[in-house]
Structure 1
């Protein structure tokens, strides 16, 4: 047969023989161009520029300031402020109330998150099934969460004033308390107000997790004769592990970084029992005018919130099996 009359089958066979096979017997595909290989990087460019401007540049700027003896006297020409290296970090750890503020912030955040969790789960379970007026109840549950922090702080500051509404109601019931906004009760006042304003966040995430559970799972549990406690323990809570973990980590980060609520609720200077880290950083910067020292405190705050975030991301990575995929690759 001549080359002019070669069949398509013969042509395809000859081209397949000319192409060296890949490992595993699969034919080698054509190499991608440089533009095709770099296309995902171009898609990430807008987000990367935004992260650079919003996160990286301010962080580097804060690191530079934290190594300078920058105060109200050297602020005008801050570039030529004296360089003191780790002096601000050492002073923050040894001569300021940074460690106490870190303890207050962490303990307050953990207590508020742990107490808020069962409240949000109970509220989500109570409003999962349809009943008359469910939409109204769900809307009312969201009121504490949608209110701005300034409004929440002002509202409770007014309610908890000496001889205010709370003291009057409790006094009529025969309960006499001390000062809510000063003294030993101020710490628990902050915890109580934070719980009141943040439990709807747990409610929202848990309710969304409940909506993702298939009806067949509930029907199978009912057929097996599972009671409400067994159903909650072995069916519902395992399915809500992801939303609950996400709600806990976000709540912890939000509580540790919370500034508006303690600032409005207690004012400045705040009682020592509620001198959380954001308020301490604010006072050091804008009242004491120790900008270098406050920048060092801000770096400590960033490290503090990075720890639970890293733990959560690591747990999610292990849960999705990414490590196993990398080891087998």
Structure 2
């Protein structure tokens, strides 16, 4: 038996195909419509953001408002609500303000050194020369090494009987305690700079790739010297990448936990008791989980300030460019 399928008259088909009224679309009572499809495509990412970021953030804020410690942890949902007392105690009775100062100053100094160093390295390796690939590979060694490996190597080298003090003694200089005392702060700054500058180098090198070759030719024809060419041709192209590198580098320095933890241990010396180490010690050695959550919320606010400034500046730049067009 052969089943006959209904056919549409040729005249009606030609009318529809010739540009007449579009074929009516069936409205689906169930399922995803064309209008809602982009929202459904964003659903997996939104779910991950909710589970990984928003829910832990809400729990941290809630923990900062309750008296949660090792004694109330088993019944933490029934822990007494104490409001802002954890924040008051963190500011007045702990080393939070000192740790914030150490973290911010350490981050600013590290960024102020790594940004020019990374940009200079990118400019030097931009033009082709013999052995450029080898030099670029060597520059990336500190970046590809894990932070705990970097910290372990430097901790071994900076021991009182380590290789650094041995070299100083051989050249007639006095050895010192690099991992304790006043020099520990500058030790942390130096090791952080050594490990972080290749990241700035990569961003600056990526920005240099966007410089049009015709711009270089025009500058050469006009007889521009290297400094004027660098200031008026290359640096304008690096404004975006360097600004992003400055922000990401600063935030990474403030949030860096692995390097000071492995390099100095916990609790760390007073001069390098950065904010992540203080939060860790308060939470997992003193078992004051509510107090440490309050410190973590303060650190989040501290990190949000430069991020807000950067996003605001980017928004203003986009608005100005749109207005010019």
Q: Shorter-chain TM-score: what band?
A: 0.7 to 0.9
Q: Alignment length, in residue pairs?
A: 301
What CA distance in whole angstroms lies between the structure 1 residues aligned with 2:320 and 2:222? 35
2:191 paired residue number: 193
2:76 paired residue number: 78
Q: 1:57 aligns with which of 52, 55, 58?
A: 55
The alpha carbon displacement at 1:40 in A equals: 2.4
1:257 paired residue number: 255
- Choose 281-290 or 164-173, whichever is displaced more: 164-173
The correspondence of residues 68-107 of structure 1 with structure 2, limited to 5 A, is 68-107=66-105
1:304 paired residue number: 302
1:21 paired residue number: none
Q: Is the 8 A contact 1:257 1:278 kept in 2?
A: yes
Map Cα deviations across residues 16-57 of structure 1 (whole Å, 9 max, x no partner).
xxxxxxxxxxxxxxxx99933333222221111111111100
What CA distance in whole angstroms lies between the structure 1 residues aligned with 2:309 and 2:230? 27
What CA distance in whole angstroms lies between the structure 1 residues aligned with 2:120 and 2:58? 44
The correspondence of residues 1-329 of structure 1 with structure 2, limited to 5 A, is 35-321=33-319
- Tell me: CA distance 1:60–1:322, structure 2 relative to 1, closer, same or farther (3 Å): farther
Map Cα deviations across residues 221-248 of structure 1 (whole Å, 9 max, x no partner).
1111111111111111111000100101
Map Cα deviations across residues 149-168 of structure 1 (whole Å, 9 max, x no partner).
10011000001111311111
What CA distance in whole angstroms lies between the structure 2 residues aligned with 1:277 and 1:38? 44
Q: Is the 8 A contact 1:317 1:323 kept in 2?
A: no
What SS does the aligned partner of 2:33 have?
A: helix
What CA distance in whole angstroms lies between the structure 2 residues aligned with 1:123 and 1:98? 37
What CA distance in whole angstroms lies between the structure 1 residues aligned with 2:160 and 2:60? 41
The alpha carbon displacement at 1:173 in A equals: 2.0
The alpha carbon displacement at 1:301 in A equals: 0.9
What CA distance in whole angstroms lies between the structure 2 residues aligned with 1:84 and 1:53? 27
What CA distance in whole angstroms lies between the structure 2 residues aligned with 1:308 and 1:296? 20
What CA distance in whole angstroms lies between the structure 2 residues aligned with 1:177 and 1:97? 30
2:5 paired residue number: none
What SS does the aligned partner of 2:44 have?
A: helix
Map Cα deviations across residues 107-154 of structure 1 (whole Å, 9 max, x no partner).
100100110111111111111111221111111110001110100110
- Choose 217-226 or 162-171, whichever is displaced more: 162-171
Q: Is the 8 A contact 1:152 1:197 kept in 2?
A: yes
The alpha carbon displacement at 1:211 in A equals: 1.0
Q: Is the 8 A contact 2:107 2:253 kept in 1?
A: yes
What CA distance in whole angstroms lies between the structure 2 residues aligned with 1:285 and 1:310? 28
State the TM-score, normalizing by the size of structure 2: 0.88
Q: Is the 8 A contact 2:114 2:193 kept in 1?
A: yes
State the TM-score, normalizing by the size of structure 1: 0.87
What CA distance in whole angstroms lies between the structure 2 residues aligned with 1:58 and 1:322? 37
What SS does the aligned partner of 1:35 have?
A: coil
The alpha carbon displacement at 1:175 in A equals: 2.4
Map Cα deviations across residues 153-192 of structure 1 (whole Å, 9 max, x no partner).
1000001111311111122222224211000011010000
What SS does the aligned partner of 1:85 have?
A: coil
Q: Is the 8 A contact 2:61 2:294 kept in 1?
A: yes
- Choose 282-291 or 136-145, whichever is displaced more: 136-145
Q: CA RMSD in A?
A: 2.2
